[in-house]
Structure 1
Amino acid sequence: MQFRFLEYFIALAEERHFARAAARCHVTQPTLSAGIANLETRLGKRLVQRDRRFVGLTAEGEAILSHARRLVAGHDEMRLAVDAAGSLRGEMRLGCIPAAMPYVGRFMGALASAFPDLRVAIRQLTSDHIVRGLAGFELDAGLTYLDAEPAGGMIATPLYSERYCLAVHPGSLLAAADEVTLAQAVREPLCLLHQGMQNRRILDAHLARLKVQATPVATADSYIALLSIVARGGLNSIVTDSHADFIAPATGVRLIPISDLPESNRVGLLVGALEPMPPVARAALTVAHGLTIA
């Protein structure tokens, strides 16, 4: 079986569109369709529902998708292992939660120094998408939270800790405060991450523990969006201190410690606990260990 047919199938399953899948695989749409038809003939099963366009995967298609990903990942790992005898080449697929995006630069700097020929594709994802991506061989490594939702079958390396702060706009009544309580923080209109984000779930657990209720005016899946709303939209937000270095003084936004949230959230690197470990995952782990020691 030719691996490129499996790659066509995976691309179509993820893109859910023949033209986009073909573009991703750098082939024409007829070539992609013919490759998937060849795969179906070899397996003796219909894998894709078609009606002039992509409709979905058949039950058989869904059943083999994870196996196809595993086979393609193993093939790529074999090629990388050969390359690693010289200089590690190829692409690292790195998932990153929004809160950890400011740390990506430091991680990339260390990675480029240690493995200059390695390319990196960074995707902003939620923590549960990162775990599923690692388990499904769609990602090689992830920067995510380590405490609240531990994942089995993973190797975790702590990198740093973050703390919650109240981000206040210049006109806020709390703009001059040195610290606030969580109850004070929710008295003015807020924008928060949406409840599908792990950072928000951790915050909601603190709110429940302290019997404080927060009803945000706006929600988003990006810290950049929240800080933009604070700077220009007249709302406050509860964020972590991870973006502190990226808040321009001219915006007037201040990060104020929340006195009754002393706990910190650990952020670190996750890779799958595979034996043998793929070269790219091992490279990510090596870099993370160096950053931890530093």
Structure 2
Amino acid sequence: MQLRHLRYFVALARHRHFARAAAECGVSQPTLSAGLVALEQELGKRLVERDRRFVGLTEQGEAMLPWAEQILGAMGSMTQAVAATSAPLSGPFRLAAIPSALPLVGRFGAALLQRYPGLSLAVQQAPSRQIEQDLAALSCDAGLTYLDHDPPAHVVAVPLAEEGFLHVAPSGGDWGEEGAVVEWAAAAARPLVLLHGGMQYRRILDAQFAARGLSATPRAVADSLVALLSLVGSGQFATIVPDGYARLVEGLAGFDVRPMAADIHPAQRLGLLVLDRQPMGPLAKAALTVARTLGAV
């Protein structure tokens, strides 16, 4: 079985498009298609449903995908481990982060690249469950996510920050005295734009409201904190974002930014995760080394 054929298969499963998968693999579309046919012939199973375009993976293809991802990930880790015996770490470092953890990317990424200058950083935003799946499939090297709410399994975690909540609204509104906290009941009564319910931060936020006997029914939802702030900037909505975004939004013209009332739950911890596996790859080890120097909480 040729590794390049596995790469074609995994790329196609990720992109769900023949031309984009071929472009990622650096081959022509006919070459990719021929490689997939060769893989199917070797296994004696059809892996991909296709007409003139990609339709989906067959049941056999779905069963094979996580194993193919792990084989390719293990090969990459093996190559890095061998190379690291005679030269500094080099190549791409794949970091996945939930939206709430994106403010940590700068601090962690800068420390990683300073300690390991041969690495290049590739950051992808992903939901927490996708990060857990990507770590298990060895398709990312580390993740930044919550450590206590829906904690992932089979990982090594390093806490990096504790999270509070910020109320962000159009400036000029009746939000009380400057610097005063915003009560949760007052926030629930206003037109809100929030992350959609499938995102972990939204589930945490809903739990905060519910603990106070409240519920928030947003007028709009989005899957990006940038989209939330854009809608707030329209003057029609308020939102609640992680306080890690304070440096990014405080002082911006047109926004009133202040903390929410004291949290009645333990603070949510954000941190770095790597897959707990032996042997641990050199990139995962590097991530843990850097995270532990950043001052775990």
What TM-score, normalized by structure 2, do the two folds share?
0.94
Is the aligned partner of 1:251 residue 2:247?
A: no
Deviation at 1:22, TM superposition (A): 0.2
After TM superposition, the structure 1 = structure 2 runs for residues 266-277 of structure 1, keeping only pairs within 5 Å, are 266-277=269-280
Is the aligned partner of 1:29 residue 2:29?
A: yes
Distance in 2 (CA, whole Å) between partners of 1:76 and 1:232 is: 46
Is the aligned partner of 1:226 residue 2:228?
A: yes
Deviation at 1:149, TM superposition (A): 0.8
Match of 2:68 in 1: 68
What amino acid maps onto 1:273 in structure 2?
Answer: D
Distance in 1 (CA, whole Å) between partners of 2:252 and 2:52 is: 54
Deviations 1:218-273 (A, max 9, x none): 11111122122222333111112111111262423232222242542210001110
> Contact (CA 8 Å) 1:182, 1:261: kept in 2 or not?
no
2:285 aligned to which of 269, 282, 285: 282
> Contact (CA 8 Å) 2:74, 2:138: kept in 1 or not?
no
Match of 1:79 in 2: 79
Is the aligned partner of 1:166 residue 2:167?
A: yes
After TM superposition, the structure 1 = structure 2 runs for residues 97-246 of structure 1, keeping only pairs within 5 Å, are 97-174=98-175, 176-177=177-178, 178-246=180-248
Deviation at 1:14, TM superposition (A): 1.1
Deviating above 6 A after TM superposition, structure 1's stretches of 4 or more consecutive aligned residues are none
SS of the aligned residue for 1:101 comes to helix
Deviation at 1:144, TM superposition (A): 0.3
Deviations 1:106-160 (A, max 9, x none): 1111011111111222111111111111122222110001111111111111001
> Contact (CA 8 Å) 1:193, 1:200: kept in 2 or not?
yes
The number of equivalent residue pairs is 294
Deviation at 1:171, TM superposition (A): 3.0
Question: What is the aligned-residue identity percentage?
Answer: 48
What TM-score, normalized by structure 1, do the two folds share?
0.95
> Contact (CA 8 Å) 2:160, 2:296: kept in 1 or not?
no
Distance in 1 (CA, whole Å) between partners of 2:114 and 2:252 is: 34
Match of 2:51 in 1: 51
What amino acid maps onto 2:106 in structure 1?
Answer: G
Unpaired runs of at least 5, structure 2: none
SS of the aligned residue for 1:251 comes to coil
Match of 1:40 in 2: 40
> Contact (CA 8 Å) 2:172, 2:256: kept in 1 or not?
no
Match of 1:292 in 2: 295
Deviation at 1:293, TM superposition (A): 5.5
Deviation at 1:90, TM superposition (A): 2.2
Distance in 1 (CA, whole Å) between partners of 2:93 and 2:14 is: 18
Deviations 1:7-59 (A, max 9, x none): 00100111111111000111000111111111112112211112122111111
Deviations 1:160-200 (A, max 9, x none): 11201211211321163511210012222111111111111
Deviation at 1:213, TM superposition (A): 1.9
> Which deviates further from its counterpart, 243-252 or 102-111?
243-252
> Contact (CA 8 Å) 2:250, 2:257: kept in 1 or not?
no
> Which deviates further from its counterpart, 71-80 or 48-57?
48-57
Distance in 1 (CA, whole Å) between partners of 2:4 and 2:105 is: 31
Distance in 2 (CA, whole Å) between partners of 1:5 and 1:89 is: 25
Distance in 2 (CA, whole Å) between partners of 1:133 and 1:30 is: 28
> Which deviates further from its counterpart, 258-267 or 89-98?
258-267
